[in-house]
Structure 1
Amino acid sequence: MSKKEKYEQLAKEIVQCVGGKDNISFVTHCMTRLRLSLKDSSLAQTEQIKKIQGVLGVQYVGGQLQIILGQTVQLVYENVCELGDFAIEEHRHDQVKEKLNIKTLGMKILDGLAGCMTPLIPIMISASIFKMLTTVLGPMMLNVLSESSDLYILFAFVGDAGFYFLPIFTGYTAAKKFGTSPILGMFLGAILIHPTLLEFVAQSKSLSIYGMPASLQNYTSSILPIIMSVWVMKQVEKILNKIIPNMLSTVFVPTLTIAIMLPVSLCVLGPSGAFVGQFISGGLLSLSQYGGLFTIISIAMIGALWQILVMTGMHVVLMSALFVVFSSTGSDTIIMPGALVAGAAVYGMCLGAILRIKNKQEKSLVIGYFISCCVGGVTEPAMYGLGLRFKRPLIGMVAGGFVGGIIIGIFGVTVYNLIPVANVLHLASYVGGSTMNIIIGVSAEAISVIVAAIVTYFFGFAKDDPLVQKSIEEVSK
């Protein structure tokens, strides 16, 4: 039996066990689960479904029958849609709506972010490996390749491309996630990183959009502005499709959609991340100026939130302050120490997940994230592929960064060198002062790793999560 036939058979058995296609009113899926809304839930043979080869578990959540399938969910979903004549990602008229509150809203936001970013993990892993090769083979470590060699230059720009053009890639995945035009999503992402816009930012030039002032930002490697923009773009495109005649829609809908989105993206949504970042970063810096306990708390909060701020592009204010401090004093005791323990906490989050996850495929992915962090100095795959995807591991990362930041603050650890890599070589950042400064700095990072690993291991996954209960047998085997 071919792989295609296995997925078809799996979908057929699931449909039969829930009472047939006529009993299904709505079908969709998330990262690992096929979600079915049934007209008569009593017809569902849940115990029989659990026995189907390839099914990892069955749960009723929010009025939906959720069948846990792991990484094969997309293929099974497509076959279920084909069997039931359901339109893919459009058969939603009978969707059960959960009660909206702070918790569900937060989960919806995280689900949306994960849905936009998870498809990009192959790009980030591949780019991370190329960046890792420049670090390992370059002058920083083995010195096999010089910075002027063609191979080093090739690996460097290939690795950078995966993150530099992230708004374009995210524009595509966000459009797929929200159900709008992927091409327009990519177009909007390309606008945000156009060289002319970046030149204006670099030269601190002003630009007005239809007469409205735009607070220009550098959106390369950012995700939040394009995700928010694509979500709004979907609403704009939907309205335009309703009011513009079909014979004119091909020309005017995409053109007017982008025309409307220009001020929305460049004047409102894009800068909003920077505004929030200024508020958070300004608050942390102001807190540190009071000294004593306030400084310790400030460093601890930077350690806890740094990776999230970087992920959303809200760390620019802290980076600007860091460069000002370093240029005048040659060292830093607030921002960079907090950022370093935050990076160590990502190592710990990966380590805890590696020890906890039983699924061989998922474990191997996280091992790849761990290597990307420690050797390549790239945390994005771990943040998006592990933290944002499963959500709860982020608790471990935040805890590890917070505890490490407290230790850094209590002992007044100083960073004397801005090392341009985020891998283990960054430990040399503490060199320049006393030996005790190095020892405490390295110890604080080690404690961050340990705390993050322990918290992730015990609290990073639900007890009934199939990933931590048993090894998952892939349907294709």
Structure 2
Amino acid sequence: MPPDTTDDAPGVAALLLPLLGGPANLTSVTNCMTRLRVTVRDPSAVRRGELRALPGVLGVVEDGTAFQIVLGPGTVAKVAPELAQYAEGGPVTARALAERGAALRAARKARNATPAKELLRRIAQIFVPLIPALIGCGIVAGLAGLLANLHRLPGLAPGLAACASGFMSLIAVFVGCNTAKEFGGTPVLGGAVAAVTVFPGVERVTAFGERLAPGQGGVLGALAAALIATRVERWCRRRVPEALDVLVTPAVTVLVAGLVTLYGLMYAAGVVATAVGRFADRLLANGGAAAGFVLGGLFLPLVMLGLHQALIPIHATLIQEQGCTVLLPILAMAGAGQVGAALAVYARLPHNGPVRRTIRSALPAGLLGIGEPLIYGVSLPLGRPFVTACVGGAFGGGVVGLLAQWGDRVGATAIGPSGWALFPLLQGTHGPVRAVAVYGAGLLTGYAAGFVITYFFGMGKVSEATKASEEPAGIS
């Protein structure tokens, strides 16, 4: 077995390269927060068993010519550029480009087999790049609130508030830029039309008998406005003579899409955004433990399928409407159940070195709310522990939901982190200390429930008798 070189990005890339079929077999290399995404020309050339057994590889997901190799946060960001050099370093010939294009199209078609899945992927591409700013501004906002509650450094509080609120006040512009970019338009034109929704002067505009308000409709209105702008722009590009395109297309795009936004989209998006906020309020006020149980239990499958990113617009809308998203702390309990289940597997398999090493590698990320390494490296390959992890998350969500129904509602001022990383972003109806206590109670419940249920009911035939040289069913 090769040595563990997970801290040496060139070394890891060198070990992965032959297992993926060599440089000639790579067509593209990208990465997300935890996974290395590799597209190959010939899937049969990939040595899957050796790839899964490589130290540092926490799991492998195959989809046609596309392979997702779970390396964990930090490591994957270092390894991806090293491996990408091999995909980009081959001879640039017409045949090579044609082969690469065909492979990329096939991989894209395999990953996005349905229109619904393609739409969710595109929504994620719009909002995921905004998460770092949302996290940063959320933490600064939490610090500003803490200082205000403690009546400390009053002169600094306005500055912190400005730092925290600046991005959120203009998030519509960034959403518009990303939307236009994702759907084939010019980003700055998408941002220009979306900026109409936050312009202070819209309060003088009347639509459907009501005065508009700056920011009405939130990110939903900005997304819709940018979509309209992209459609108008592409229509103009096909019909306006090239000599006039640079003048006519931008003007028509901003004018038509801007007017549609003002006299239709903003009002409609405002109705939807208000409905989203009211639904979240009523869900916790009336559903309580039952709502939390269901949400906490179903979130892990969404993470496994990558569909959880489709919830980002809902979280962003709640943050704009209410200052926080009350759904995220409940959904984050799924990660707690996953951690508890992993610890139970670790306890039940004291002689299985490969599985225990995988858990030790993936557990820190799991505690910080990044569940993919534990999902693909431990619970999902084993089968039953994935189900019991979902049950553990359901119990944690049920506790947070029940406390919310009793009046201790907790929300997150930003999206992105969960697990322990969410503590600095919490906001509650009774102050930050109570918010931390409520969220912490949910985490502890999720850990305990995930551990107990997995330990006694989640292992199936996998037991302490598993030999150190063997791996449980599904892990190869």
Task: Name the TM-score class by shorter chain.
Answer: 0.5 to 0.7
What residue identity is the alignment partner of 2:167? G
Q: TM-score scaled to structure 2, two decimals? A: 0.56
Distance, in Å, in 2 between the alignment partners of 1:189 and 1:456 is 44
Q: Partner of 2:317: helix, strand, or coil?
A: coil
CA offsets 1:24-61 (integer angstroms, 9 cap, x no match): 6x6474623324152x4323444566688986654321
Map of 2:206 onto structure 1:
206
CA offsets 1:194-236 (integer angstroms, 9 cap, x no match): 1212x34xxxx5148xxxx898454389433334444554444
TM-aligned CA deviation for residue 158 of structure 1: 0.7
What residue identity is the alignment partner of 1:144? R
CA distance 1:180–1:456, change in 2 (3 Å): farther
Map of 1:83 onto structure 2:
89
Distance, in Å, in 1 between the alignment partners of 2:426 and 2:16 is 49
Distance, in Å, in 2 between the alignment partners of 1:238 and 1:244 is 10
Is contact 1:35–1:66 with CA below 8 Å preserved after alignment?
yes
Q: Partner of 1:145: helix, strand, or coil?
A: coil
Within 5 A, what are the aligned runs for 1:15-34?
A: 17-18=20-21, 20-21=23-24, 27=28, 29=30, 31=32, 32-34=35-37
TM-aligned CA deviation for residue 182 of structure 1: 2.7
Map of 1:172 onto structure 2:
177
TM-aligned CA deviation for residue 159 of structure 1: 1.2
Distance, in Å, in 2 between the alignment partners of 1:97 and 1:227 is 25
Aligned length, in residue pairs:
374
TM-aligned CA deviation for residue 73 of structure 1: 7.2
Distance, in Å, in 2 between the alignment partners of 1:37 and 1:195 is 51
Unmatched 5+ residue regions in structure 2?
1-7, 296-310, 343-358, 371-388, 415-423, 460-476
Distance, in Å, in 2 between the alignment partners of 1:116 and 1:274 is 20
What residue identity is the alignment partner of 1:296? N
Is contact 1:167–1:190 with CA below 8 Å preserved after alignment?
yes
Map of 1:42 onto structure 2:
44
Q: Does 1:242 align with 2:227?
A: no
Distance, in Å, in 2 between the alignment partners of 1:361 and 1:187 is 44
Q: Partner of 2:142: helix, strand, or coil?
A: helix
Distance, in Å, in 1 between the alignment partners of 2:152 and 2:172 is 33
TM-aligned CA deviation for residue 254 of structure 1: 2.9
Structure 1 residue aligned with 2:249, among 249, 253, 257?
253
Map of 1:327 onto structure 2:
none
Distance, in Å, in 2 between the alignment partners of 1:299 and 1:180 is 44
Q: Does 1:193 align with 2:189?
A: no
Map of 1:311 onto structure 2:
315
What residue identity is the alignment partner of 2:61? Q
CA offsets 1:388-427 (integer angstroms, 9 cap, x no match): xxxxx99988875555444665xxx4589xxx99977746
Distance, in Å, in 2 between the alignment partners of 1:11 and 1:220 is 52
Q: Does 1:116 align with 2:126?
A: yes
Distance, in Å, in 1 between the alignment partners of 2:249 and 2:111 is 34
Percent identity between the aligned chains? Answer: 19
Q: Does 1:97 align with 2:139?
A: no
TM-aligned CA deviation for residue 255 of structure 1: 2.9
Structure 1 residue aligned with 2:77, among 71, 78, 96?
71
CA distance 1:120–1:111, change in 2 (3 Å): same
Structure 1 residue aligned with 2:152, among 144, 152, 155?
144
Map of 1:434 onto structure 2:
none
Map of 1:372 onto structure 2:
none
Q: Partner of 1:428: helix, strand, or coil?
A: coil
Distance, in Å, in 2 between the alignment partners of 1:122 and 1:259 is 32
Is contact 1:56–1:67 with CA below 8 Å preserved after alignment?
yes
Unmatched 5+ residue regions in structure 1?
289-294, 320-335, 369-392, 431-437, 464-477
Is contact 1:285–1:298 with CA below 8 Å preserved after alignment?
no
Is contact 2:58–2:362 with CA below 8 Å preserved after alignment?
no
What residue identity is the alignment partner of 1:82? E
TM-aligned CA deviation for residue 165 of structure 1: 1.8
CA distance 1:315–1:172, change in 2 (3 Å): closer
TM-aligned CA deviation for residue 163 of structure 1: 1.9
Distance, in Å, in 2 between the alignment partners of 1:64 and 1:216 is 47
What residue identity is the alignment partner of 1:311? H
CA distance 1:398–1:233, change in 2 (3 Å): farther
CA distance 1:78–1:451, change in 2 (3 Å): same
Is contact 2:30–2:84 with CA below 8 Å preserved after alignment?
no
What residue identity is the alignment partner of 2:62? Y
Q: Partner of 2:61: helix, strand, or coil?
A: strand
Distance, in Å, in 2 between the alignment partners of 1:175 and 1:127 is 24
Is contact 2:289–2:399 with CA below 8 Å preserved after alignment?
no
CA distance 1:182–1:100, change in 2 (3 Å): closer
TM-aligned CA deviation for residue 79 of structure 1: 3.7
Is contact 2:337–2:390 with CA below 8 Å preserved after alignment?
no
Map of 2:330 onto structure 1:
345
Q: Partner of 1:219: helix, strand, or coil?
A: coil
Q: Partner of 1:97: helix, strand, or coil?
A: helix
Is contact 2:19–2:50 with CA below 8 Å preserved after alignment?
no
Is contact 1:171–1:186 with CA below 8 Å preserved after alignment?
yes
Distance, in Å, in 1 between the alignment partners of 2:262 and 2:140 is 32
CA distance 1:348–1:8, change in 2 (3 Å): closer
